[in-house]
A and B are shown apart, each in its own frame.
Chain A
Amino acid sequence: MSASRMEERVSQRTISFTLNGQPMRLEINPHETLLHVLRERAAAAEVKSGCERGDCGACAVLVDGRGVNSCLTLAVQVDGKAVTTVRGLGTPDAPHPLQAAFLEQGAAQCGFCIPGMLVTLQAFLSERPAPTRAEIREAIAGNLCRCTGYHKILDAAETAARQMRAVQA
């Protein structure tokens, strides 16, 4: 066995976390990013790999409810935590208000940025249920979309925020 293989074996470890509510146990190496482990080992290909340096937001997920870029999170750091991807927000039969509004208003074009966009908006709206349009723009400043020009995304986010408030009330 080569030295580097030995080293990998030594530091490998098991992590436990929930992925969209499902318990997971995975053998990982500590240098593996959460993005990599979710896509390659947990069949969560809905988490998109864009810039891999925190600039684009395509890989955003919720960790214990907080929106973070999974490319700048190590998989080992989510041991014991709850990870939510866009799949955990809702299903085709019972979509989350954000998912429903994005569909109805055609806010997704190529769709690559949408999983990160929706997860970011969910985290943001749970902190700030009645934001202004300017505040929504600021909240998604780290989620790059190269198709839509953002207008329909902002429209859909405003609609969803209203619906989420109505459900709360």
Chain B
Amino acid sequence: MLPHVDYVRAEGVAHALALLDRHGAGARLLAGGTDLLVDLRERRSAPALLVDISELDELAAIRAEDGALHIGAGVTVAALREDATVQAEFPALAEAARWFADYLTRNKATLGGNLANASPGADFLVPLLALDAAVTIAAAAGDRTVPLDQFLLGPRQTALGRGELLREVVLPRSAPAGQAYEKLGLKHGGAIAVVSCAVVMDVRAGRGARVRIVLGAAAPRPFRARAAEERLEGQPLSAERAEQAAALAAGAAQPISDVRGSAEYRRAMVQALVRRGIDAAQAAAVRS
């Protein structure tokens, strides 16, 4: 049983924002509910009012505009997984959607919920950081767009202020062709990441370019392993260099020990996954 809570189905983003304003700290947005309703049940959260945004078409669209792909916060993982542009241009994101949760959960879970919830192991934060994504935040006063890196303040902490709503994710369409997302779960389906990583890069004359290496579930929040990136950026690529970069990424990780794995295990797995990710991204970049 869930604790008592009131409920309103929002009629639009403007209506949702007005409800958030009127009800203040007691109001929470409800999207797919796959994080929030579990939190309510386990008494980790006790809002007075749920503002249901799960039926808003204006949040559920994916559209290309001004050299960027705009993915609505209300797009479900199931829809993201099927999107042709995402598959063609953002394979690291598509791969994260592919191995996300399970069929039933993907039908409800949304991209926006994953970002707003900002769990250290949230899958989508990892490829999106590597793809230089920004997010648009809606408020009564108007919209603002911030880089995802600045949106993400810490574990379960974001730049979303009271009365604000995540409207969409903005992805520049000039992404490097070399992309990989690697996730280690305790099983193949329905599993939260033990650790994960995204590697995004171009290869120019045998050298790494625009290299991004992002680690998930390896620190309080997903982050770019910059020392590892620098080992490849502008440098001639080789197996040895890839291994060095992977070791630097493992060194930058600050993993915890929990039910999914010890810190030591996580660190070793970061190294293995980053190595795999570099190889896969490099191969994809060379193929393109």
Contacts and interface: CB of A to CB of B under 8 A. Distances in A.
Interface of A: 4, 7-8, 11, 29-33, 36, 52-55, 57, 60, 66-69, 71-74, 76-77, 79, 120, 123-124, 138-143
Interface in B197-240: none
A52 B40 CA distance: 12
B1 A124 contact: no
Given A53-B38, A72-B34, A72-B37, A29 B4 contact: yes
B101 A142 contact: yes
B188 A141 contact: yes
Contact of A141 (B3, B4, B33, B189): B189
Interface in B1-31: 1-7, 9, 30
Contact of B54 (A53, A77, A140, A143): A77
| Interface size grouping (class) on chain B | 20 to 34
Interface of B: 1-7, 9, 30, 32-34, 37-38, 40-42, 50, 52, 54, 101-105, 107-108, 187-190
A29 to B, nearest CB: 7
Nearest to A55: B190
A143 B4 CA distance: 28
11 contacts: A11-B4, A11-B6, A29-B4, A31-B1, A54-B105, A55-B190, A67-B107, A72-B33, A72-B38, A76-B9, A77-B54
B102 A141 contact: yes
A87 to B, nearest CB: 19
A31 B104 contact: no
Main secondary structure of the interface of B (DSSP, over half): loop
Main secondary structure of the interface of A (DSSP, over half): mixed
A54 B34 contact: yes
A139 B34 CA distance: 18
